[in-house]
């Protein structure tokens, strides 16, 4: 793996105040679902004007039995597969899993991937126009004044409720498979608990039944980094020309270290300086340059306020809340289930997946993804993940409905 980008970050123009997709930007492969009524929220109140951006691959069978729901992690989006193109600044994050002949074979399966509610790549979130919010006084707003800091608190259950509305709009009563890793796994287990009759099979990767104290502790550092940035402005920065980029960049640096594994970082970077820089005289170590690069990349494609909303939703994750506890909640799952952890994951250690597998009555033994890459192994080790996808889908493989035109 390269330790530095082909085009140095300092050679790029400065990022905008937000990397969110906004009205007037290229649409790319996105489609939209618009809710017909406000969404009631678990924390109280409701969210009007809900829209979910989503992408699809393959063709829905006449009996609608071949639909698969893929749920992304914190800074992911709907672009699971496909190249960099207008509207999609990054390649598909699971390219090796989706397509003809791949684990999610689009000659057979209709794959649906929504951008999560609260996200920033086309779905309703803090950067979206607030219904009835009027125009921004700055004149920079596209489509009306953004929600900004007034965007409400969300939970994983709210996000799944919005996704259930998308499924209804597509005419999908039951998913053949629901799968996701990390934050996507949180939503996947909520799907199986909230809608067992709509979840045909379940794959949970590098996730947990509830956010742990350590998850919340790491998240708190990241939230404080963003909110302490003077350009945070209470979340109302989107049309001011200055966003909390330093804070979001620091949050990303912290998060990225937790996503990887110490042996990998040591093997790749050790104590080497970055190029000709001298760490004894203000220069960087190579590992610091690597973190700088990832911070800059995220600032160009993500929104700080969405990062806050989604991180708070992850902190609130507790599948047993209001359901008699974790054991009682997971007893509702009826779908054939595989739970997998990454052997080098220090953010979601394997014990958390072992607990999920033990408490889900329909789960097989916990599977272990062998990887040097830590938590990110669920994204990188696509051959191992693909084997599990094929195992779950094999019993229900449909006849070929035809390729997506």
User: Of 344, 345, 371, 376, which is the active-site residue?
Assistant: 345
Helices (H), 171-230: 183-194, 213-227
Look up 194 and say whether it is catalytic.
Answer: no
What secondary structure letter does DSSP report for 394?
Answer: G
CA distance 123 to 126: 10
Task: Extract the tokens encoding 338.
Answer: 């595989």
Measured on CA atoms in the order 275, 279, 280, 281, is the torsion positive or negative? positive
Look up 375 and say whether it is catalytic.
Answer: yes
Instruction: Tell me which H or E stretch contains 70.
Output: strand 67-71
CA distance 298 to 111: 26
Q: Which residue has the tokens 């002949």?
A: 101
Q: Which residue has the tokens 């779908």?
A: 335
What secondary structure letter does DSSP report for 151?
Answer: P
Task: Extract the tokens encoding 73.
Answer: 């992690």
User: Of 182, 194, 208, 344, which is the active-site residue?
Assistant: 182
Chain centroid to Cα 323, Å, comes to 25
Helix and strand totals (H; E) in the chain? 11, 10
CA distance 119 to 20: 8
Taking a C-beta distance cutoff of 8 angstroms, is the pair 262, 375 a contact? Answer: no
User: Of 79, 108, 294, 375, which is the active-site residue?
Assistant: 375
For residue 189, the SS3 value is: helix
Distance set, CA 6 to CA 10, 29, 136, 143, 257 (Å): 12, 26, 38, 35, 22
- Hey, which residues are catalytic here? 182, 345, 375
């Amino acid at each position: 793996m390269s330790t530095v980008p082909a085009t140095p970050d300092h050679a790029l123009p400065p990022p905008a105040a937000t990397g969110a997709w906004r009205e007037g930007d290229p649409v790319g492969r996105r489609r939209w679902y618009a809710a017909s009524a406000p969404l009631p929220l678990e924390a109280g109140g409701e969210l009007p004007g809900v829209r979910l951006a989503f992408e699809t691959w393959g063709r829905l069978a006449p009996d609608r039995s071949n639909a698969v729901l893929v749920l992304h992690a914190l800074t992911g989006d709907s672009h699971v597969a496909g190249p960099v193109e207008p509207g999609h600044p990054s390649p598909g994050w699971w390219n090796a899993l989706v397509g003809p002949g791949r684990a999610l074979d689009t000659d057979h399966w209709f794959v649906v991937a929504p951008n999560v509610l609260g996200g920033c790549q086309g779905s309703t979130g803090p950067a979206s126009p607030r219904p009835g919010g009027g125009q921004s006084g700055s004149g920079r707003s596209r489509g009306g004044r953004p929600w900004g800091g007034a965007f409400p608190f969300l939970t994983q259950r709210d996000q799944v409720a919005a996704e259930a509305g998308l499924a209804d709009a597509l005419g999908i009563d039951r998913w053949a498979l629901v799968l996701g890793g990390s934050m996507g796994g949180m939503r996947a287990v909520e799907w199986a608990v909230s809608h067992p009759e709509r979840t045909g099979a379940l794959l949970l990767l590098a996730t947990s039944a509830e956010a742990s104290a350590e998850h919340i502790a790491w998240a708190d550092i990241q939230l404080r980094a963003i909110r302490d940035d003077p350009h945070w402005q209470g979340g109302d920065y989107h049309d001011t020309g200055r966003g909390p980029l330093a804070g979001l960049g620091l949050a990303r640096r912290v998060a990225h270290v937790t996503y990887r594994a110490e042996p990998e970082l040591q093997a790749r970077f050790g104590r080497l300086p970055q190029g000709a820089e001298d760490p004894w005289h203000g220069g960087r170590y190579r590992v610091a340059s690597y973190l700088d690069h990832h911070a800059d990349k995220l600032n160009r494609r993500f929104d700080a306020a969405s990062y806050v909303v989604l991180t708070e939703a992850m902190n609130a994750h507790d599948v047993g809340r209001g359901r008699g506890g974790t054991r009682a909640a997971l007893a509702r799952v009826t779908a054939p289930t595989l739970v997998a952890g990454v052997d080098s994951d220090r953010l979601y250690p394997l014990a958390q997946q072992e607990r999920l597998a033990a408490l889900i009555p329909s789960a097989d033994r916990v599977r272990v993804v062998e990887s040097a890459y830590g938590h990110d192994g669920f994204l990188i080790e696509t051959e191992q993940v693909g084997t599990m996808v094929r195992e779950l889908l094999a019993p229900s493989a449909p006849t070929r409905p035809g390729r997506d035109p």
